[in-house]
Amino acid sequence: MLILGIESSCDETAVALVRGDRSIVAQRIASQDEAHRPFGGVVPELAARAHAERLTPMVAEVLDEAGVALADVDAVAATAGPGLIGGVMVGLVTGKALAWGAGKPLLAINHLEGHALSPRLADPALQFPYLLLLVSGGHCQLLGVEGVGRYRRLATTIDDAIGEAFDKTAKILGLGFPGGPAVERAARSGDARRFALPRPLLGSAEPHFSFAGLKSAVLRQWAALPDKTPTDRDDLAAGFQAAATDCLVDRTARAIAAFPQATALVVAGGVASNQHIRAALAAVAAAHGLGFVAPPLWLCTDNAAMIAWAGAERLALGLVDTLDAPARPRWPL
Ligand code: KG4
Ligand code: ZN
């Protein structure tokens, strides 16, 4: 089985060819960081235009590199949401046109399902059910993954997503865009104990996440500093990362108790590429006698291999879509 995957829901334009045996035949990921950097965040209109310019040539490049014709693929999988709607429409309509032209089935993929199943692309041994911590720019959720298309939401954020909190912290501290990796870098040389920062909902009986109060505390503490030296910046970045990690660990430990059938604790999404967070989650899994699975770093941030793989999992179950599949800005799993 050979699946062509397309991803365009945020600021990465990505195309991949993935086989049912998990081999990635070819892939391209074009980042739009340079286009959005002057604005300090992703500008939806610029993102959609860049996807429209890059996507079709990238499909041709990936097919060329693999030495594969469109007629050789078994299905076309494209992200159909959730995400920035202009970009989603570009990717989905491109996928529909390719599927229609080649007479192949279309798989309209939920981007979150792409993240949720991505650990199974990296680790053939990972079996359902597993407990998934999905941490990205738009989402922070704990999901009981019972099978393909069978997701039980155990917790979500009541305000900001964790990636958003990393990005806003980076902006406050003048660390630039994209924010998550910049905060992680700064935190490496910082003293996490210097600033007292809140840990919203820590120990709470309710299952959810909250990061707005932590972000506001970073803003207040930063504003109160007279000199704002590089050391101040690194210490506050480290304090923020430590507080956010404590929240993730606490909420995850709670969910482990609420989903005892899990065979493993799995983390996915852009924030899962953070080494400090990965280490803390590995420790909480070990403390509960659970295996821990974290995909390779490139598979955590947005890519098309995970979309193609979700397509492969769905095609194997006969879950194909029709050409009228809608593009959805919001689409909970
Ligand atoms: O999954 P993703 O690539 O796109 C979405 O679907 O949102 O996640 C992007 C998010 C951004 O908020 C980015 O700042 C964050 O993941 N991120 C990180 C790191 N790398 C990316 N956050 C913390 N540490 C990192 N190393
Ligand atoms: Zn994503």
Model confidence pTM above 0.90: yes
| pLDDT at site 40 | 86
Q: 160 phi and psi, to 5 degrees?
A: -85, 150
Q: Is the model's pLDDT at 158 over the cut of 90?
A: yes
Q: Output the CA 93–ligand 1 centroid distance in Å.
A: 26
195-252 per-position pLDDT tens digit: 999 999 999 999 999 999 999 999 999 999 999 999 999 999 999 999 999 999 999 9
301 lines ligand 1 (CB under 6 A): yes
User: For residues 164 and 180, what is the distance between their CA atoms, to the nearest angstrom?
Assistant: 9
pLDDT tens column, 232-245:
999 999 999 999 99
Q: Which of 109, 115, 119, 110 is nearest to 262 (CA)?
A: 119
Our CA angle for 50, 42, 99, nearest 5°, is 40
Query: Of all atoms in ligand 1, which is nearest to the CA of residue 163?
Result: 12
Binding site membership for Fe cation: which residues?
111, 115, 302
Give the count of alpha carbons within 13 A of 333, CB side only: 28
321 pocket-lining for ligand 1 (C-beta < 6 Å):
no
β strands within the chain, DSSP E? 2-7, 12-19, 24-31, 75-81, 106-110, 130-135, 140-147, 150-155, 264-268, 291-293
In tens, the pLDDT along 60-88 reads 999 999 999 999 999 999 999 999 999 99
Q: Return the pLDDT at 178.
A: 86
Domains of the chain: 2-116+302-316 (3.30.420.40), 127-294 (3.30.420.40)
Q: How crowded is residue 326: how many other Cβ atoms within 10 Å of its Cβ?
A: 12
Q: Any idea which ligand is nearest the CA of 137?
A: 1
DSSP state letter for 178: S
Convert the pLDDT of each residue in 266-322 to its tens digit.
999 999 999 999 999 999 999 999 999 999 999 999 999 999 999 999 999 999 999
At residue 275, φ and ψ (nearest 5 deg) are: -65, -35
Rounded average pLDDT over 159-171:
97
Q: Ligand 1 pocket test: pick from 32, 241, 271 the residue with the most ligand atoms within 8 Å of its Cβ.
A: 271
- Report the separation in Å between the CA atom of 9 and the middle of ligand 2, taken as the mean of its atom positions: 8
* Best mutation site among 301, 302, 307, 330 for ligand 1 pocket (most ligand atoms within 8 Å of CB): 301
Ligand 2 centre and the CA of 269: distance in Å? 6
Feature table: binding site for substrate: 134-138, 167, 180, 184, 274
